[in-house]
Structure formats: C-alpha cells, structure tokens
C-alpha cells in the first residue's frame, strides 16, 4: 500500500464545510495518510490548528498570504507566533509574494514577508512559500533571512528559480497544474528536479488535477499528481510515493523515518543491494556527501551486511528483472562477497548486474574479471571523464593512476562479461562527445547520467 502526504491544502475553506469527514476518509483510502492544512490569514490559521487538534492525520501550518499583507499588524504577528507554538504546527506559511494580482502593494508584501521569515527563523520552523511572478524578490528575501528549510509551494517558476531555491535548501512542490496538457515547461522541471528536493501537494480546493479539472479539488486527488510525476520521471508510483513521503517527513518533522540503512531496495523492477558505504573515489557529485537517501531509501549503513542478511533480503531473485550490486560506495571492495552471492543468485535463476567505479583491478592488484565470468550478466562502469586530468578533478580518486585503470578495466570487462556499459555523469568540464567516442572505440555501451539524478 502506498503512503502519500498532501503537503499543502486548505481544509478550512467553505468548500469543505459539508463533507470534511468524507474528504478525510477518501484521502486515507487513496493512500494520503497525512495532510498539512495551511493557514492563509488569521482566521484560517486558527482553524488549521483546530483541525490538527481534532484529526489524527492532519497537521497545520500558520501564515498570511501575500494577498492579505495589507491586513498585517502587531496582533497578526502575536497570534501567528502563539499558534505556531501549538503542537502539530509544522511550518510558517503560506507566506510570500504575489505580483500577479498585487492585492497588497509590493512594498507591503515585501515587508510582511520579511517579518514572517524572521518569525520562522526565531521559532526554528520551515517555511511554505507562495511566489507568483516575483522570482527575484522572493529569492532575495529568503536569502537575506538566512532561512535554509522550506518549500516553494505549487511551483510555477522557471528552472533557474528552482535551482536557486534548491541551492538554499528549499524543496520544490508540484500540484495539479503538472497534470495539465499545456504545462510543458512545468513538466520539464518536474522531470529534472533531484529526488531529494521534490514534494507534491493538492492546494485543494484549488488547482484540481486532470482528470477532475473543473471540479472541487481534495486531498485524495493527490494520487493523480503523484502518478503524473512518476510517469514524467520514468519511475513507479510507489517510488514517487516513497521519495516524496520521506522528503515531507524530513522537511516538516512528521512521523518516523527509517533509522537504519536499507541493504536491499527496489527501484522500478530491479533490486539494488547496498553492500558498502566505502569507496575509492570521492566524486564531487556523489550523493553520499549530502544525503543519506536515494529514491526515498536510507542507505547509510551502520554496519556492512553479511551474506546471510543479503540472501534473506533478496528472497527470490527471479522476482526482479535483475539484482544490482551497488552501494553507497564501491561494491567490488567486497569482491569475495560479490562472487559468492552472485553465484547464489545465478544458481537460483536470477540476473546479476554490478555498478562499479572500475577500480576493481587496482584495489585487488590483479585482473579480477575472469573471476566474474559466468556469474555476472551485466556491468556498469563509471568512466565519468574523457581524460585523466578531468577524472582526477571530478572523481578525486584515493588511488593512483585510476583513470588508466578504469579504461583497462573496461577492456577486460568486455572479454568476460556479456553486457558492458560505460556511464558518464553530465557535469561541467566533461567532454561528453569524447567520452562517447572512447566507449565506441572500446566497443561497449554508453549511458549519460543526469547530474543529481541517482538510481
Ligand atoms: S564512485 Fe560512486 S560511490 Fe564512489 S564517490 Fe563516486 S559517485 Fe560516490
Ligand atoms: Zn495554498
């Protein structure tokens, strides 16, 4: 059963006054186990807190929408401050800038936004940002505030804005519009945001996703937005559910997160084995250095798993398209374990792939590829650069002559393993065309990986 979190809706609105309980029950049946109802003024913030008190699955956020910035006074600030200290209040918001309607003068909006950012900072709460046609000022005021935890709710900006927001530690949240046929630009953004920064929401009762566009929106419809985001990113609904739920829990401090690293996890139809966190590279783009999570799985191991634990975690290897040895690190550091387990998987009829940095022969000071013959079907080797100098500056290898060793490793792999793919991460300074040429000269497949998209 999937679990989703609607990180933004307005359950206090009159549109829900007749059937709120039904709405909550329907959300639960659709897998939306947690809902954050967001205050947009004094009254709705009070109601949001009330709803959180009376419903197990509801959390609240308190704030003042930029439309109403002109109503802001000392009492508003005192009230929001008092409410924000209530249990189950998880954020300050929505707050922000809206230069599309300008219901409040720009200067007033900016002043109030800054005040409420300071309040969030003082209370150590994340912020929920509404920003419409106000990119530069929104980013500037967030930066000036020093706040590093928040979400750009119902994101409608461009990719540059998303990148700047993420660089400040902000999540990017997608709502119903991502399901609209004409939302090509937004869909492109939803494809490329790294997993660790993506959230979903309904903004109900507004912005109803397809196929219910035109009707009142409600949290159970989050499922349609989740499905669309999964389709755009080429993953399954359960992947997007896990990723966005972990993200929401981390940002808002709701519920519990897996404390221990997972040793086997599914992405699409493959099973990935996380056998080590050690590596002989320290790549500048390596996700190990800034998060414990890949596609919503905690991969930070307290101890490396042994073979029995791994067999138990795999169960029946034929249930997966392939079993992939990887790790938040270099799997061939544990060569003996890889060999024994790969043979066990093959004997049971499974398919084996290894994702490696190609340092295997350097690490073991011998050609290990003949030892993998017959037990490994496919190998992905990270080449990551077109020459040694670039490799050293990007991958920061802890071993000498690594680039040459990787090239030699690819050549040997070609002899002993049926399917060999060379991968390159699309980072600045890498000559992708040269990398392609090297792969083709070596007679192996080539795959370009997007920077910041793992798995
Ligand atoms: S080779 Fe992989 S695990 Fe090792 S540092 Fe580079 S990206 Fe990280
Ligand atoms: Zn809203």
Looking at 199, 223, 252, the residue that finishes a domain is: 252
Residue nearest to atom 2 of ligand 1 (CA): 329
Q: Please tell me the number of the ligand nearest to residue 385's CA.
A: 1
Q: Can you list the residues of the chain whose pLDDT is less than 70? A: 451-455
Parent domain of 156: 4-252
Tokens 């037990």 correspond to 375
List the residue whose alpha carbon is closest to atom 8 of ligand 1: 286
Both 214 and 311 in a single domain? no
Which tokens go with 168?
A: 């400040």
With respect to residue 259, please indicate whether it lies within any of the assigned structural domains: no
pLDDT given at position 451: 67
Q: In the listed set 221, 252, 283, which residue is the last one of a domain according to the structure?
A: 252
Q: How many CB atoms lie within 10 A of CB 197?
A: 22
Counting every residue written for the chain, the total comes to 455
CA distance 35 to 246: 14
Task: Mark whether 97 and 148 lie in a shared domain.
Answer: yes
Do 299 and 409 reside in the same domain of the chain?
yes
Domain for residue 454, yes or no?
no
Asked if 152 and 172 count as a contact pair (C-beta separation under 8 A), the reply is yes
- Quick one: 16 and 110 in the same domain? yes
- Strands 270-274 and 264-267 come out as antiparallel
257 inside domain: no
Residues 97-109: tens digit of each pLDDT: 999 999 999 999 9
Give residue 267's pLDDT: 85
Task: Determine if ligand 1 sits within 6 Å of the CB of residue 282.
Answer: yes
The first and second tokens of residue 186, run together, are 């937004």
Taking the CA of 425 as reference, the closest ligand is 1
Q: Cα–Cα–Cα angle for 196, 141, 120, nearest 5°? A: 70
| 119 in Cβ contact with 80 (< 8 Å) | yes
- The span from the CA of 298 to the CA of 291, in Å, is 9
User: Measured from the CA of 382, which atom of ligand 1 is nearest?
Assistant: 1
Ligand 1 neighbour 179 (Cβ under 6 A): no
Are 201 and 300 within one domain? no
Residues 186 and 245 in one domain: yes
Residue 258 falls inside a structural domain: no
Q: How close is the Cα of 7 to the center of ligand 2, in Å?
A: 10
Does the Cβ of 432 fall within 6 Å of ligand 1?
no
162, part of any domain: yes
Q: Are 392 and 354 a contacting pair, CB within 8 Å?
A: no
| Omega of the bond leading into 100 within 30 degrees of 0 (cis) | no
| pLDDT (0 to 100) of residue 288 | 81
Boundary (domain end) residue, out of 217, 252, 287: 252
Question: In terms of domains, do 190 and 79 share one?
Answer: yes
Residue 62: cis peptide before it, omega within 30 degrees of 0: no
Ligand 1: residue of 331, 359, 394, 395 to mutate (most ligand atoms within 8 A of CB) is: 395
The pairing of beta strand 58-62 with beta strand 297-298: unpaired
In this structure, are residues 170 and 143 in contact, taking their beta carbons and an 8 Å threshold? no
Whose C-alpha lies nearest to ligand 1, atom 7?
286
What are phi and psi for residue 406, nearest 5 degrees? -65, -45
Q: CA–CA separation, 217 vs 151, rounded Å?
A: 21
Task: Name the closest-CA residue to atom 6, ligand 1.
Answer: 283
Examine the domain organization and report whether 139 and 288 are in the same domain: no
CATH number of the CATH domain containing 179: 3.20.20.140
276 and 196 part of one domain? no
State the pLDDT at residue 125: 97
159/20 same-domain check = yes
Tell me the CA–centroid distance for residue 190 and ligand 2, in Å.
19
- Inter-CA distances, 317 with 163, 266, 320, 322, 396, Å: 39, 12, 6, 8, 35
Distance 374 CA to ligand 1 centre (A): 26
Q: Is residue 397 lining ligand 1, measured as CB closer than 6 Å?
A: no
Task: Say if residues 42 and 79 touch (Cβ distance below 8 Å).
Answer: yes
Residue pair 61/9 in contact by the 8 Å Cβ criterion:
no
- Closest alpha carbon to 237 in 155, 299, 295, 316: 295
Q: Residues 289, 216: one domain? A: no
Strand partners, 415: none
The reply to whether ligand 1 has any atom less than 6 angstroms from the CB of 276 is no
Q: For residue 444, what are the CA distances in angstroms to 238, 427, 439?
A: 33, 21, 5
Alpha-carbon gap, residue 132 to 110, rounded angstroms = 13
In a domain, 357, yes or no: yes
- Any idea what DSSP says for residue 292? S
Cβ burial, residue 137 (10 Å; 0-12/13-18/19+):
middle
Is residue 146 in a domain? yes
* Domain of residue 364, CATH code: 3.20.20.70
CB of residue 39 inside a 6 A radius of ligand 1: no
Whole-number Å distance, alpha carbon 146 to ligand 1 midpoint, is: 31
Q: Where are the beta strands (DSSP E) in 240-310?
A: 264-267, 270-274, 293-294, 297-298
What per-residue confidence (pLDDT) applies to 349? 97
Residues 23-68 have pLDDT tens digits of 999 999 999 999 999 999 999 999 999 999 999 999 999 999 999 9
Please check whether residue 195 is in contact with residue 453, taking contact to mean a CB–CB distance below 8 angstroms. Answer: yes
- Kindly state whether residues 200 and 303 are assigned to the same domain: no
Q: Is residue 179 part of a domain?
A: yes
The number of domains in the chain is 2
The per-residue pLDDT for 259 is 72
pLDDT at 260: 76
Helix (H) / strand (E) containing 407: helix 402-416
């Amino acid at each position: 059963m999937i679990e989703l979190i609607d990180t933004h809706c307005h359950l206090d609105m009159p549109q829900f006054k007749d059937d709120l309980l039904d709405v909550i029950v329907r959300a639960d049946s659709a897998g939306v186990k947690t809902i954050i109802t967001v205050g947009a003024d004094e009254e709705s913030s009070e109601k949001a807190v009330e709803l959180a008190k009376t419903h197990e699955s509801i959390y609240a956020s308190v704030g003042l929408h930029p439309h109403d910035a002109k109503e802001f006074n000392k009492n508003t600030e005192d009230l929001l401050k008092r409410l924000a200290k209530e249990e189950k209040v998880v954020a300050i918001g929505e707050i922000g800038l809206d230069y599309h309607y300008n219901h409040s003068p720009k200067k007033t909006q900016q002043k109030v936004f800054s005040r409420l950012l300071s309040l969030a900072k003082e209370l150590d709460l994340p912020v929920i940002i509404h920003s419409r046609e106000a990119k530069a000022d929104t980013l500037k005021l967030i930066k000036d505030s020093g706040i590093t935890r928040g979400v750009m709710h119902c994101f409608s900006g461009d990719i540059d804005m998303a990148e700047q927001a993420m660089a400040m530690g902000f999540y990017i949240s997608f709502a119903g519009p991502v399901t609209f046929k004409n939302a090509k630009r937004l869909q492109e953004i939803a494809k490329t945001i790294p997993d660790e920064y993506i959230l979903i929401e309904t903004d109900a009762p507004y912005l109803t996703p397809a196929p219910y566009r035109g009707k009142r929106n409600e949290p159970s419809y989050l499922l349609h937005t989740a499905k669309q985001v999964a389709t755009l990113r080429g993953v399954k609904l359960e992947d997007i559910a896990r990723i966005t739920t972990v993200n929401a829990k981390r940002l808002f401090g709701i519920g519990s997160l897996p404390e221990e690293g997972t040793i086997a996890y599914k992405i699409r139809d493959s099973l990935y084995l996380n056998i080590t966190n050690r590596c002989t590279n320290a790549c500048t783009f390596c996700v190990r250095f800034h998060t414990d999570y890949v596609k919503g799985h905690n991969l930070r191991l307290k101890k490396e798993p042994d073979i029995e634990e791994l067999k138990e975690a795999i169960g029946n290897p034929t249930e997966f398209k392939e079993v992939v040895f990887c790790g938040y690190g270099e799997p061939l550091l544990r060569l003996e374990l890889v060999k024994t387990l790969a043979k066990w998987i093959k004997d049971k009829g499974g398919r084996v792939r290894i994702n490696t940095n190609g340092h295997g022969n350097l690490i073991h000071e011998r050609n290990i590829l003949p030892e993998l013959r017959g037990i490994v079907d496919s190998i992905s080797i990270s080449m990551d650069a077109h020459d040694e100098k670039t490799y050293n500056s990007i991958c920061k290898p802890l071993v000498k002559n690594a680039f040459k060793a990787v090239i030699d490793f690819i050549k040997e792999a070609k002899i002993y393993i049926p399917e060999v793919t060379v991968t390159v991460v699309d980072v600045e300074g890498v000559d992708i065309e040269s990398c392609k040429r090297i792969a083709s000269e070596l007679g192996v497949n080539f795959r370009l990986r997007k920077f910041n998209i793992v798995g």
